[in-house]
Homo-oligomer: A and B are copies of this chain.
Amino acid sequence: MSNAASQLAAYRKTIDNLDNALVHILAERFRCTDAVGLLKAQHDFPPVDPDREARQFSRLRGLAQDAKADPDFVERLIKSIMIEVVARHRQISADYAAQQVDAP
């Protein structure tokens, strides 16, 4: 293998390891947000908290900037995760309400 090809292979190994880490962090994040969804359904907490979201984006944009990542891209990515979380919370809340009706 040429020097450039072996350098490319080494970068790809790193990228694969980082992607594996991303998947596991995402899985754990959804485990937590699902638990939050159940807690909100059980205790009638408001589904979204705009102040918290604003603080999250501001913090994450700052971190992205410090780490030399594109803050706009990071914000878009986290937003797409949050949209998925809200959809799951809606489902968790509907399932919880259905369970309460079914309960004797």
Query: Which A residues are closer than 8 A to B by beta carbons?
Result: 2, 4, 7-8, 11-12, 14-16, 18-33, 35-36, 39-40, 42-43, 45, 52, 56, 59-60, 63-64, 67-70, 73-74, 76-78, 80-81, 84
Contact = CB atoms under 8 A, between A and B. Distances in A.
A64 B23 contact: yes
B63 A16 contact: no
For the residues of A in contact with B, the DSSP-based class is helix
Identical copies in the complex: 2
A79 to B, nearest CB: 11
Given A22-B29, A25-B25, 7 more contacts: A21-B25, A23-B74, A24-B63, A28-B67, A30-B70, A73-B84, A77-B81
A69 B91 CA distance: 16
